[in-house]
Homo-oligomer: A and B are copies of this chain.
Amino acid sequence: MGLKLVTLNKKQRTIIEVGDLMIGEKPVVIAGPCSVENMRQMARIAGFVKERGAHILRGGAFKPRTSPYSFQGLGVEGLKILKKVSKRFEIPVVTELMDTKDLKKVSRHCDIIQIGSRNMQNFSLLKAVGKAENPVMLKRGMNATIDEWLNAAEYIMLGGNENVILCERGIRTFETKTRNTLDLSAVPILKGLTHLPVIVDPSHGTGKKSLVIPMSKASFAAGADGIMVEVHNCPESAKSDGDQSLTLKEFEKFMKEIEGWL
């Protein structure tokens, strides 16, 4: 692969500080809705998940949707809501960046910048966040090999930003019972190849909320540094990904089930 930065200082794992959090040292839980829909929804979810132990809030303001006729996200308005909620509930936020031209705005309104699966090889975007101050959560492309994924991380790190979190979120296979096939073998492989923290997204990785608890436990057992789950106060009316979102009540159960791993 010819990677330099990703595998550089293997003896010392990368620990990413976000406020009081030390990602890579202690397992984290990232929770929140697929899309930021309005202030009321975000405040409700943020308050709830924070109180039950979530460490980071997720929520998309810019949404990469397969169809142009689907909800595309609130954009800057969504970023502002995230920022306010983050302050009010004292919880850091991660949100997706889709276009280099929005980097400044996204950077100012969130703690961690997410690069989504569909943009894992959007090299202009990778180079741009390589210059950002924020840590970057790089989701695996749904058809990306581990080598390609690490090369994408290298694009970011080569720009000077070595705070990269890798997020396994399932790959595309022939199996149709799940939305994607969660590749948990990637976790120990990555822990062996790189010094970067690795988290798992079982919500997108399986597309079924009934699988979130067992696959989260399996992820921790495989060595993951954290889990990102979708939570919505009202999944059936969510503007995106309702099927795979936990309700608030289900999230409460989820936290109890995994508390031994935190």
Closest-CB distance, A122 to chain B (whole angstroms): 5
Smallest CB-CB separation from A214: which chain B residue?
B188
Question: In the assembly, how many copies of this chain are there?
Answer: 4
A183 to B155, CA, bound (A): 30
Candidates B99, B121, B148, B206; contact of A124 at CB < 8 Å: B99
Q: How far is the CB of A149 from chain B (nearest CB, A)?
A: 10
Q: How many residues of A contact B (CB 8 A)?
A: 62
User: Is A181 in contact with B173, judged by CB distance below 8 angstroms?
Assistant: yes
- On chain B, the residues within 8 Å of A186 by CB distance are 177
Q: Hey, which chain B residues are within 8 Å of A124, CB to CB?
A: 98-99, 101
Expressed in whole angstroms, the Cα–Cα distance for A4 and B69 within the complex equals 10
Contact A188 B171 (CB under 8 A): no
Q: Is A256 part of the binding interface, using a Cβ–Cβ cutoff of 8 Å?
A: no
Q: Does A215 belong to the interface (CB within 8 Å)?
A: yes
Q: Is there an interface contact between A67 and B189, defined as CB atoms closer than 8 Å?
A: no
A-B contact list, 19 entries, CB within 8 Å: A2-B67, A64-B121, A66-B148, A68-B155, A98-B122, A141-B143, A143-B174, A171-B174, A173-B173, A177-B185, A177-B186, A178-B189, A181-B183, A182-B184, A185-B215, A192-B210, A214-B222, A218-B219, A220-B221
